[in-house]
Structure 1
Amino acid sequence: MRILNTLEIEFEENFKRLLSFETVNESELVKTVDQIISDVRHGGDECLLKLTQEFDQHPAQKFEDLCLDQLVLRTAFENLEIEVKTALEFSSKRIWNFHKAQVQEGWTFEDEFGNVLGQKITPLDRVGIYVPGGLASYPSSVLMNAIPAKVAGVNEIIMMVPAPRGELNPLVLAAAYLAGVDRVFTIGGAQAVAALAYGTGAIPQVDKITGPGNKYVAAAKKAVFGQVGIDMIAGPSEIVIYAESGTDPDWLAMDLLSQAEHDPIAQAIFITPEPDLAQAVHDALHKHLDDLPKQDIARASIEARGAIILVENREKGVEVINRIAPEHLQLCVDQVVAEEMTVKIRHAGAIFMGRFTVEAFGDYCAGPNHVLPTSGTARFSSPLGVYDFQKRSSLIMCSELGAKPLAQAADVLAQCENLDAHARSARYRI
């Protein structure tokens, strides 16, 4: 694992190289995805069936074989082992309670002229959630995408989940049942995104698409944005951990590996002002790598995109963190110190404060959403939440008396912009 030092002359160059990453702008990728979207728009359900047979080696012989009804979902939930069912219900309840606190209400007020102004909150009619399938099957992603939509009041939730060779993770189906997903199709990739964005014979068009996927899914979401809303263009998983003495290096190493095992292009970065701790974590990383079932994936991630960054002091550590704007940030220090640092941290998707607060809790059961901005987009983006499944409409209601001062101002400004019809429209109300 490479070690960078903020005091070294070449730090800036190496730091920029560490953070540089592009996933969805490869010309061949974009060309392929655009063709798939076009095919689905024109070929509908029949095209979806052919693409699913081709890309996923799905044994379906007709489109209906790709549709799962509520009985299948309920059966998957009821057949769970009691320990797994309890954990899933525990997580679901915590996620629901957290997002319930995000619900916004509309509001109005009356101005000095007697006009009523305000805002109306309306849930989206229909949303589509994408959930990875096959080896990378995440029931937690079902809960994190569907529950906020349900809390927001969305009328219909449609889930797309690929089923390579027809195989499905029962936990994903159980989570869909528990979260209240209305319809499930075993379709993946860019073709699933296209179907949700434009609709087909059997799949209705949605208003917004959320959920993670591979680079084809990410590129497709980018391509259909504007036709529908999307949550974000998700990049590889990433974690930044800041620590000082007092936290076991084995803990820190395993926390870094918890993200590295996701993907060979996931990123794990450790920041500390203490050289001895940096070396201890480095050694612990390589010790634990040999014990991981997914050691090949984790090793590739650590070697390609991992780093240890030595900083002069805590303040410099905060500065580096803000420049990275990480998806996940662990502050493995005393809780008081973590709280003080958090005040100064401006850019992070989720902040895990204190030595006992690990990122893995956030993935499953802490409560806040695990769909987070990646690749530095925490500078301007937020975690997925109830607000992503609602829209706001402005309310304006003028009385006859209250319209006059607005009309006078609008008349003047419209003439300044050479928009005569605007000006006349306003004057008619005087």
Structure 2
Amino acid sequence: MLHLTDLRGQTPSTAELRRVLPRGGVDVASVLPTVAPIVEAVHEGGAAKALEYGERFDGIVPASVRVPAEVIAEAEASLAPRLREALEAAIDRIRAVHADQKPAEHTTTLAPGATVTERFIPVARVGLYVPGGKAVYPSSVLMNVIPAQEAGASSMVVCTPPQTDFGGWPHPTILAACALLGVDEVWAVGGAQAVALMAYGDDTAGLEPVDMVTGPGNIFVAAAKRLVNGVVGIDAEAGPSEIAIIADKDADADYVAVDLISQAEHDEQAASVLITDSEELAGAVDAIVEKRAAGTLNAERAASALGGSQSGIVLVDDLEAAIAVANAYAAEHLEIHTANAADVAARITNAGAIFVGPYSPVPLGDYAAGSNHVLPTSGTARFNAGLSTHTFLKPVNFIEYDKAALGEISEHIIALADDEQLPAHGESIAARFAGETEA
């Protein structure tokens, strides 16, 4: 079922690895011509246009863009006790991790009277997108809202698609998750039009624009985020889910197989990749994947993902080569199933999140590890990080020099300004000491 890439006996370069490794992803640029008119129409026409597109794509128009408080309250009241307990447990863990992420203000004293202080100022208003297509994702509410709250964002709106099954309001579980977190502003808008409405707002409808848009979504959401980037900040352009697993001969083939399947059920374009130096394990995992994937609830979706060119098994000579492959692949989620998992994990430099050992599977991180599940995809973990409290904080430097401290460095500033042929820069410094003579 899984395609095989045999790299044994080779020492491929990073460039070669990027060419030969299984890789999913989406071509966001290909849908920009489709999405750009939607974004522009919502920019010009506001909520009315967003609802018009919502009717076309979601098949229903909600009674209002903003979900009424009583609808949110009713969703929370009707939440099943088992699900409420699960959400509350996840909230506690996610909040604990993200509260600890907040950095402390610090001051560097460079000389008497010369200080630079770095403070972390929260983004004031954030727009958090929660998809609602093939599945219901209350976990995405938690993963977006909690870090923004812990950063200190003073205002936020959750945008999620209206549902025909619920009278045009978003799914009740999504609304209940918002209620548990104290979020009372929810817009029943989905897709590219939601991103545009969050970016531009609508004064007539009383919808305030945001400063940053975060959250996963399909290719059209990703394209809309690219188009509004600069008008607002964005976290990243999310692609299909991906998992890579480094495993040696002692790994449990059943654990590896079910973890590969767990991500394949997300989407037909999801990527599941095993990297191993054991031909025997590779064969065992492939056989288990084929058998177990056929019996899952989302069997057709999982089969498409697992049989696609974006998924496969990569055979290597040893763990050294496996680490090199994993760093070149830069997976969204990387599991390590080896005898020395912690040591291998310490050598990984490129991954959205690293799951160490057989009892730290990706679904743990998807829901209740405390870490965030909004992570960089399509190899962008080489330079991007996942969503965190840091995402919603702006480090700002406060520079404070007194006259003596400025005088001490003034000649160096003037010399640099002269060299760059920006004499007014130097004159700005010199003006503060005009008429003074050296003692």
Q: Shorter chain as normaliser: what TM range?
A: over 0.9
Select between 363-372 and 37-46 the one with higher mean Cα deviation: 37-46
Select between 156-165 and 122-131 the one with higher mean Cα deviation: 156-165
Partner of 1:353: 356
Partner of 1:200: 202
Q: Contact conserved, 2:326 with 2:348, CA < 8 A, in 1?
A: yes
Relative to structure 1, the CA distance from residue 21 to residue 259 in structure 2 (aligned partners, 3 Å threshold; closer, same or farther) is closer
Partner of 2:330: 325
Rounded Cα–Cα distance in structure 1 between residues aligned with 2:27 and 2:18: 22
The offset of 1:408, in angstroms, is 1.8
Q: 1:148 corresponds to which letter in structure 2?
A: P
The offset of 1:168, in angstroms, is 3.2
Partner of 2:284: 280
TM-score (ref. length: structure 1) = 0.94
Partner of 1:131: 130
Q: 2:131 corresponds to which letter in structure 1?
A: P
Select between 159-168 and 370-379 the one with higher mean Cα deviation: 159-168
Which residue, out of 173, 190, 193, partners 2:192? 190
For the residue of structure 1 that corresponds to 2:397, the secondary structure is strand
Q: How many residues align?
A: 424
Select between 407-416 and 310-319 the one with higher mean Cα deviation: 407-416
The offset of 1:314, in angstroms, is 0.9
The offset of 1:87, in angstroms, is 0.6
Partner of 2:294: 290
Partner of 2:151: 152
The offset of 1:20, in angstroms, is 4.6
Select between 47-56 and 205-214 the one with higher mean Cα deviation: 47-56
Deviations for 1:120-155, whole angstroms, at most 9, x for unmatched residues? 211111000000114322000000000000011101
Partner of 2:436: none
Q: 2:279 corresponds to which letter in structure 1?
A: P
Q: Contact conserved, 1:238 with 1:327, CA < 8 A, in 2?
A: yes
Rounded Cα–Cα distance in structure 2 between residues aligned with 1:140 and 1:197: 23
Rounded Cα–Cα distance in structure 2 between residues aligned with 1:154 and 1:299: 41
Partner of 1:224: 228
Q: 1:156 corresponds to which letter in structure 2?
A: S
The offset of 1:8, in angstroms, is 6.5
Partner of 1:385: 388
For the residue of structure 1 that corresponds to 2:111, the secondary structure is coil
Q: 2:26 corresponds to which letter in structure 1?
A: T
Rounded Cα–Cα distance in structure 2 between residues aligned with 1:26 and 1:314: 37
Q: 2:286 corresponds to which letter in structure 1?
A: H
Which residue, out of 170, 173, 177, partners 1:171? 173
For the residue of structure 1 that corresponds to 2:432, the secondary structure is coil
The offset of 1:161, in angstroms, is 0.2
Relative to structure 1, the CA distance from residue 253 to residue 167 in structure 2 (aligned partners, 3 Å threshold; closer, same or farther) is farther
Structure 1, unaligned stretches of length 5 or more?
A: none
Which residue, out of 319, 343, 347, partners 2:346? 343
Partner of 2:313: 308
Q: Contact conserved, 2:22 with 2:312, CA < 8 A, in 1?
A: no
Rounded Cα–Cα distance in structure 2 between residues aligned with 1:298 and 1:21: 14
Q: 2:35 corresponds to which letter in structure 1?
A: V
Relative to structure 1, the CA distance from residue 236 to residue 143 in structure 2 (aligned partners, 3 Å threshold; closer, same or farther) is same
The offset of 1:269, in angstroms, is 0.3
The offset of 1:11, in angstroms, is 8.1
TM-score (ref. length: structure 2) = 0.93
Rounded Cα–Cα distance in structure 2 between residues aligned with 1:239 and 1:134: 21
Deviations for 1:148-182, whole angstroms, at most 9, x for unmatched residues? 00011101110110124226322111111122323
Deviations for 1:325-361, whole angstroms, at most 9, x for unmatched residues? 1010111124xx1111012111111111111111100
Rounded Cα–Cα distance in structure 1 between residues aligned with 2:150 and 2:6: 46
The offset of 1:15, in angstroms, is 6.4
Q: 2:423 corresponds to which letter in structure 1?
A: D
Q: 1:175 corresponds to which letter in structure 2?
A: A
Trace 1:345-424 onto structure 2 (pairs within 5 A): 345-424=348-427
Q: Contact conserved, 2:124 with 2:153, CA < 8 A, in 1?
A: yes
The offset of 1:10, in angstroms, is 12
Q: Contact conserved, 1:403 with 1:429, CA < 8 A, in 2?
A: no
The share of aligned pairs that are identical, in percent, is 38
Q: Contact conserved, 1:239 with 1:326, CA < 8 A, in 2?
A: yes
Alignment RMSD: 1.8
The offset of 1:117, in angstroms, is 1.4
Partner of 2:88: 89
Rounded Cα–Cα distance in structure 2 between residues aligned with 1:387 and 1:425: 35
Q: Contact conserved, 2:293 with 2:302, CA < 8 A, in 1?
A: yes
Q: Contact conserved, 2:213 with 2:233, CA < 8 A, in 1?
A: yes
Which residue, out of 46, 52, 73, partners 1:44? 46
Relative to structure 1, the CA distance from residue 262 to residue 95 in structure 2 (aligned partners, 3 Å threshold; closer, same or farther) is same
Deviations for 1:64-92, whole angstroms, at most 9, x for unmatched residues? 52321333223212221211111100000
Partner of 1:427: 430
Q: 2:65 corresponds to which letter in structure 1?
A: L
Q: Contact conserved, 1:5 with 1:11, CA < 8 A, in 2?
A: no
Q: Contact conserved, 1:273 with 1:310, CA < 8 A, in 2?
A: yes
Partner of 2:262: 258
Is 2:249 the partner of 1:248? no
Q: Contact conserved, 1:239 with 1:268, CA < 8 A, in 2?
A: yes
Rounded Cα–Cα distance in structure 2 between residues aligned with 1:14 and 1:406: 49
Rounded Cα–Cα distance in structure 1 between residues aligned with 2:17 and 2:170: 42
Relative to structure 1, the CA distance from residue 167 to residue 401 in structure 2 (aligned partners, 3 Å threshold; closer, same or farther) is closer
Rounded Cα–Cα distance in structure 2 between residues aligned with 1:256 and 1:123: 37
Q: 1:364 corresponds to which letter in structure 2?
A: Y
Q: Contact conserved, 2:163 with 2:171, CA < 8 A, in 1?
A: no
The offset of 1:378, in angstroms, is 0.7
Q: Contact conserved, 2:327 with 2:351, CA < 8 A, in 1?
A: yes
Rounded Cα–Cα distance in structure 2 between residues aligned with 1:109 and 1:21: 45
